[in-house]
Amino acid sequence: MIIGIDASRAITKQRTGTEKYSRELIFAMAKIDQTNSYRLYVGPNYDGSFNNLPNNFKVVIINRNKLWTQIGLSLEIIKNKPNVLFVPSHILPPLTPKHTVTTIHDLAWKYFPEAYSPKEIRLHDLGVRRAIKKNASIIVYSKSTFSDLKKYYRIDDKKVHLVPMGFTSKPGDGDISNKITDVSNSPYILFVGRLESKKNLVNLIKAYEMLRSERKILHRLVLVGKPGFGYEDIKKEIESSKFSADIFETGFVSDAERDYLYKKAELFAFPSLFEGFGYPILEAFAAGIPVVTSKISSMPEVAGRGAILVNPKKPFEIAAAMSQIINKPALKSKLVRAGNSELLKYSWEACARATLKVLESK
């Protein structure tokens, strides 16, 4: 069987969740499958990432910058048709083989349209509608996204497959900058993610102010990530806080620096308003720190028993949960143990095997 995979997003330099998913899944499939033949479609910016994969994996470079998917990938599929096409982190091309599989990561643009351009919304919507029209098999990695698909589209439940995300705790390589080591010299609460409105950082900062009303709590709040939509409101909230000097923004950090910050943190606060999966929760579990997260969207599903779940729209609840963890060592230890247990549910090998099962079905 010939399996074609759109690997164009897996070779980007700064990889976010969807790109990491594509990349890790390809490497995991290479470990478990020596039977099928694979064609990995990449653009002219190919960096050699897949050169050391087994012989049943072939890299196909499509030398086109504009309309890579619409024209370049479509023409390649016409000339050399695979038995199945898998698009793990992008829109399906207009021309596809009969058996096609795609992953839909989330429908955040339905809940926060203001954070997306009209063009981005059209493309996201086109991606779902094209998958439905082509009768493609759709992979989702949370029940929350499955529910959202049924809420907004007329979709055949039998075409949707729940395949849990994979996870591997791999230490990042590289040096730790002085600014990162400096911030870890005193206790701190950590947030990791894009600094944008849907991450609910304004309410997290308000909760942090409430927490600091406890005299013995002197923790900093460390925000890791690049600014996104709504950052102006977040910055305003920081600047108006009487504890602004203890709120530290790192900007983008390397994998090694991110891992370092996780391991040194007192707790991980992630009261997001929406997540397709909530991967940082697993990163916190792997680092052995307790988690406070939201009881909505996919977060309860991912966190399981390893976190205190709160109403993200109520800063007092967020503050109270953080206070409990800081003041109750036994609770902290209990959450860490539970987080370790939840982490066992997620592996890239299991994700690859379940994905391969979808690809091989007809």
CATH code: domain of residue 232: 3.40.50.2000
Cα–Cα dist 303/319, whole Å? 19
Provide the 3-class DSSP secondary structure of residue 6.
strand
Is the same domain home to 147 and 6? Answer: yes
Structure confidence at residue 12 (pLDDT): 81
Encode pLDDT of 11-25 as tens digits.
987 667 788 899 999
Structure confidence at residue 75 (pLDDT): 96
Place of tokens 């698909």: 149
The domain containing residue 114 runs over which residues?
2-166+347-360
Residues in the chain, total: 362
Reply yes or no on whether the pLDDT at 172 is more than 70: no
Confidence of residue 123 (pLDDT cuts 50, 70, 90): very high
Reply yes or no on whether the pLDDT at 163 is more than 90: yes
Distances (CA, A) of 131 to 4, 69, 100, 142, 288: 16, 14, 8, 18, 39
| Share of residues in the chain with pLDDT > 70 (%) | 98
pTM of the model: 0.92
Mean pLDDT, rounded, of the chain: 95
Structure confidence at residue 168 (pLDDT): 86
- 315 lies in some domain: yes
Is the same domain home to 136 and 269? Answer: no
Confidence of residue 175 (pLDDT cuts 50, 70, 90): confident
Is the same domain home to 110 and 214? Answer: no
Is the same domain home to 199 and 242? Answer: yes
Is the same domain home to 44 and 73? Answer: yes
Reply yes or no on whether the pLDDT at 29 is more than 90: yes
Cα–Cα dist 244/228, whole Å? 20
Taking Cα atoms as reference points, which of 5, 140, 128, 114 lies closest to residue 60?
5
Is the same domain home to 291 and 219? Answer: yes
Is the same domain home to 154 and 205? Answer: no
| Share of residues in the chain with pLDDT > 90 (%) | 91
Structure confidence at residue 58 (pLDDT): 98
Q: Residue 25 corresponds to which tokens in the numbers above? A: 């899944």
Structure confidence at residue 41 (pLDDT): 98
Provide the 3-class DSSP secondary structure of residue 101.
strand
Taking Cα atoms as reference points, which of 111, 131, 97, 137 lies closest to residue 3?
97
Report the pLDDT averaged over residues 207-235: 96
Within 8 A by CB and 6+ apart from 248, the residues are 183, 188, 220, 221, 222, 223
Structure confidence at residue 328 (pLDDT): 97
Confidence of residue 327 (pLDDT cuts 50, 70, 90): very high
Cα–Cα dist 278/20, whole Å? 13
Encode pLDDT of 61-104 as tens digits.
999 989 999 999 999 999 999 999 999 998 999 999 999 999 99
Structure confidence at residue 205 (pLDDT): 98
Is the same domain home to 60 and 100? Answer: yes
- 326 lies in some domain: yes
Cα–Cα dist 331/327, whole Å? 9
Is the same domain home to 107 and 197? Answer: no
Structure confidence at residue 14 (pLDDT): 64
Query: Do 272 and 307 form a contact (C-beta atoms < 8 A)?
Result: no
Reply yes or no on whether the pLDDT at 184 is more than 90: no
Is the same domain home to 32 and 162? Answer: yes
- DSSP designation for 168: -
Structure confidence at residue 18 (pLDDT): 85
Report the pLDDT averaged over residues 326-345: 97
Reply yes or no on whether the pLDDT at 218 is more than 80: yes
Is the same domain home to 239 and 184? Answer: yes
**How many separate domains does the chain show?**
2
